[in-house]
Structure 1
Amino acid sequence: MSTATSEAKYYTKKIVSAAGDPSLRFNHTCLRVKNPSASVEFYKKHFNMNLLAKKDFPEMKFSLYFLVLSKQDLPKSEKGEDLVFANRGVLELTHNWGTEADPEYKINNGNVEPHRGFGHICFSVANVESTCQRLESEGVKFQKRLVDGRQKDIAFALDPDGYWIELIQYVKESGEGPKTDVGDRFNHTMIRVKDPVKSLEFYQNVLGMTLHRVSEHANAKFTLYFLGYDVPQGDSTGSAETLLELTHNWGTENDPEFQYHNGNAQPQGYGHICITCKDPAVLCEEIEKKYSDQVVWSPRWNHGKMKNLAFIKDPDGYSIEIVPADLQL
């Protein structure tokens, strides 16, 4: 099965409040980290990210670090504070206190059997060759260099916890997208999915995303699906922020015993993606009414220790956080 052509239907009811809401954003991707000092410094030094905000939760013994590629023209509250959840292209690093002092603690990067699931995050740059040269000169380790493998136009760097960071180039001689350097972009987050029909229906009909591009690789027997919300005029899927890449390795949908690791079961690593909108209470209520026990919440809207949020799970058990765009830390 090379593309999502199964006749089975799962999430066919479109959520009106998602499909018609221009405030919807793919806001952030959450990764757990062992040592926040090392990880924050890594992304600041090598990928020109800025620490937008930090939030400690002493009662639950964890901290959140929110980073963005640029702090220019970010949405502000009436008090002039940065609105973390009104942005796109945010990287959330979660640190559970004490892991940095545990020599046995290791992050699951999602790419090693038997715990594969999450694949990578991706930064799109104007010149991938010069970017890779700079990163190597700075001592950044690579899973795949440009010269390795069949694809000579992509590379994968490694962060301090072994997470893969794909590097691609958005400036191309032909096709859509910027023709000059417009700055680095947090382009996409990749997760592997078992059944593309089920996953595509979930992300499009339940969460209101649009399928922007499909890339089939018959020789290697996998297909990539790129989804998201709006792609600004002048951008392409290679230069936009932020997309969700679903990777389907052919045949997994036919194996009843097959499942991917969702990142939140042990050993942990990847946490979730987060979507934001103006009124998530309305969105969550409609999802519950239309899908009832077809969807899994953990927790439902406003039912957990932390209010003004919900977590819904996709068909593979990956978590998606839903919060208001104007929520302040």
Structure 2
Amino acid sequence: MSTDPSKYKLNHSMLRVKDPKASVKFYEFLGMKLVNKLSFPDAKFDLYFLAFDSPKAVSHGNHWTDREGIVELTHNYGTEDDPNYKVANGNTDPRGFGHLAISVDNIQAACQRLEDAGYKFQKKLTDGKMRHIAFVLDPDGYWVEVIGQNLAEETEHIKETSTETYRMNHTMLRVKDPEVSINFYKDVMGMELLRTHESQAGGFNLYFLGYGPPAPEAAKPGLNPIADREGLLELTWNYGTEKDPNFKYHDGNAQPQGFGHICVSVDDLEAACARFEEKKVNWKKRLSDGRMNNIAFVLDPDGYWIEVVQNEKLQKRSNW
């Protein structure tokens, strides 16, 4: 048995939702399609997997485990009827998970379309100094960043947008110590550091990691060379957190709950887990733990859960 981390994929990011009908409708409005649904009535929860799947999508027609940039919505039965149920979106205390991000063909037209549909924004394009990004809110208040695949000024005169060209670009997690986290995602998870953005004035750095080829040089200044990719991980480091021994981010699985995990699909699940064991990872769940022997969970340095599943295109294991 052997495993090749270059064949891994950052498959999905999981969010708990209150009302699956409202949430699925929102992500479908973004242009995503329900590519799988798993129901566990005995355990009283359903899982909805949404991805961009048009003929122009990166992973069009692929098995759900052979994709990057899926959003998994977890619905625990009854939350939709509970007036007091509310998720933790990660951006008010306790903080941890930050946002999902989609990249679009025309950021002005895409944001206008969302606004016309009645969806609320955390930040519109016209808010603040940063006029090239926006944050729309999903029905549970999770932040979804909207970024352009082109320079904003190149699309200002165009009034149309096609969701067929959108990408689920990245998932943002805040990290305490960037050196430790970057080393973990590179050495243990097999990702590459694709891009670094330093904001000394803002007191934070952003690190973008992922699988696949290195980031090309930006064609023009200000152009994001990885905006057309899917399944990236953005690590946000706020200066100074690494020096505070008591500082800790919220993993989303302790109360109050919200974000659940990211998931990596691998070429050989048994071999990948054996490799993780050799790397002396902290486990939340080994393959052999419990009844579900087709998933494992590794903990990253901040305690975020990383699910590990088999890429079913490369090797058949589970009938899902």
TM-score, normalised to structure 1, is 0.86
Q: Does 2:133 match 1:144? A: no
Q: Which amino acid aligns with 1:207?
A: M
Offset of 1:309 from its aligned partner? 1.1
* Secondary structure of 1:256 counterpart: coil
Q: Given that residues 46 and 75 in structure 2 are in contact (C-alpha distance below 8 angstroms), is that contact kept between their aligned partners in structure 1?
A: yes
Q: Does 2:71 match 1:91? A: yes
* Secondary structure of 1:44 counterpart: helix
Q: Indicate the residue corresponding to 1:320 in structure 2.
A: 306
Q: Given that residues 52 and 71 in structure 1 are in contact (C-alpha distance below 8 angstroms), is that contact kept between their aligned partners in structure 2?
A: no
* Secondary structure of 2:285 counterpart: coil
Q: Does 2:88 match 1:105? A: no
Partners in 2 of 1:304 and 1:34 — Cα distance? 27
Q: Does 2:187 match 1:187? A: no
Q: Indicate the residue corresponding to 2:289 in structure 1.
A: 303
Offset of 1:22 from its aligned partner? 3.4
Partners in 2 of 1:325 and 1:306 — Cα distance? 16
Flag the 1:43–1:164 CA change in 2: closer, same or farther, 3 A: same
* Secondary structure of 1:223 counterpart: strand
Partners in 2 of 1:149 and 1:233 — Cα distance? 29
Specify which of 245, 264, 270 is matched with residue 281 of structure 1.
270
Specify which of 175, 193, 196 is matched with residue 178 of structure 2.
196
Partners in 2 of 1:299 and 1:66 — Cα distance? 22
Q: Indicate the residue corresponding to 2:17 in structure 1.
A: 33
Matches within 5 A, 1:14-53: 20-45=4-29, 47-53=30-36
Q: Identify which range, 239-248 or 275-284, moves more after superposition.
A: 275-284
Q: Identify which range, 272-281 or 233-242, moves more after superposition.
A: 233-242
1:39-93 Cα offsets, whole Å, 9 max, x none, are: 0011112x011111111011211100001111548577xxxxx621111111100
Q: Does 2:231 match 1:246? A: no
Q: Indicate the residue corresponding to 2:205 in structure 1.
A: 223
Q: Indicate the residue corresponding to 1:59 in structure 2.
A: 42
Q: Does 2:252 match 1:263? A: yes
Q: Given that residues 52 and 60 in structure 2 are in contact (C-alpha distance below 8 angstroms), is that contact kept between their aligned partners in structure 1?
A: no
Offset of 1:275 from its aligned partner? 0.4
Q: Does 2:143 match 1:164? A: yes
Partners in 2 of 1:64 and 1:312 — Cα distance? 20
Partners in 2 of 1:123 and 1:305 — Cα distance? 35
Q: Which amino acid aligns with 2:40?
A: F
Specify which of 188, 193, 196 is matched with residue 211 of structure 1.
193
Offset of 1:232 from its aligned partner? 8.3
Q: Which amino acid aligns with 2:103?
A: S
TM-score, normalised to structure 2, is 0.88
Partners in 1 of 2:236 and 2:215 — Cα distance? 26
Partners in 1 of 2:103 and 2:213 — Cα distance? 14
Partners in 1 of 2:254 and 2:119 — Cα distance? 29
1:209-236 Cα offsets, whole Å, 9 max, x none, are: 0000000001011000000001489893
Offset of 1:305 from its aligned partner? 2.4
Partners in 1 of 2:152 and 2:247 — Cα distance? 41
Q: Kindly report the root-mean-square deviation, in angstroms, between the aligned alpha carbons of the 2 structures.
A: 2.1
Offset of 1:277 from its aligned partner? 1.4
Gaps of 5+ in 2: 154-160, 217-223, 313-317
Flag the 1:57–1:71 CA change in 2: closer, same or farther, 3 A: farther
Partners in 1 of 2:15 and 2:24 — Cα distance? 12
* Secondary structure of 1:298 counterpart: strand
Q: Give aligned-pair identity as a percent.
A: 49
Q: Given that residues 231 and 240 in structure 1 are in contact (C-alpha distance below 8 angstroms), is that contact kept between their aligned partners in structure 2?
A: no
